[in-house]
Amino acid sequence: MFLFRRSQERLSVDEARTRTTGEHPGAVLLDVREKPEWRAGHAPGAVHAPLTGLVAGAALPPAAQGRPLVVICRSGHRSQQAAKLLAERGAAAVDVKGGMNAWAAAGFPVVDERGNSGSIA
């Protein structure tokens, strides 16, 4: 069974949450927003790798290396760019339609850098 196709597949927030949460998640939720956005609020368990760093050639954080990636940003624009870039580097990466705005609107949890209730900036 393939978790991802190599095409520019886009996931809903429901699909993203299913693939990245639970006792044995099949994929890593990779948040590509900038540090101030991440600090204000992100999905619990997400891994942070700003798009600006990825574009500059930064490696993925260890927790995301060699794993299928579900890429998220605020609205879905940067995550599309990041998923394409990562796929070109050989990663299995798809992005989330609507990003963290859609995630929060769906009522999914958002935490700040301290683990408290966060917000989407």
Give the residue numbers marked as catalytic.
73
Question: Following CA atoms 7, 52, 12, 42 in sequence, which dihedral angle do they give, to the nearest 10 degrees?
Answer: 150
